[in-house]
Amino acid sequence: MKGKIAVVTGAGSGIGLAVARRLAAEGAEVLSVDLDISACAGTAVAADLGDAAGVDAVVRAVTDRYGAADVLVNNAAVAPYRDTFTDIDDAAWQRTWEVNVMSCVRLCRALIPLMAGRGGGSVVNIGSEAARHPKHYMLDYAVSKAALLSLTKGLAQEYGPRGVRVNTVAPGPTRTATMNAYLASVADRLGIDVSTAADHVVHELRRLPLGRMNEPEDVAEVVLFLASDRARQVTGSEYAVNAGSTASM
Q: Which of 141, 159, 182, 239 is catalytic?
A: 141
Segment holding 59, helix H or strand E: helix 52-65
Going from the C-alpha of 79 to that of each of 31, 96, 147, the distances in angstroms are 23, 8, 15
Cα of first residue to Cα of last residue in the chain, in angstroms, is 36
Angle at 146 between CA 158 and CA 200, to 5 degrees: 140
* Catalytic site includes residue 66: no
From residue 87, alpha-carbon distances to 82, 91, 129, 146 in Å are: 6, 11, 22, 20
Instruction: Quote the CA–CA distance of 95 and 77 in Å, as a whole number.
Output: 10
**DSSP3 helix / strand / coil % (the chain, rounded to 5):** 50, 15, 35
Contact 170, 129 (CB under 8 A): yes
Tell me which residues are annotated as active site: 141
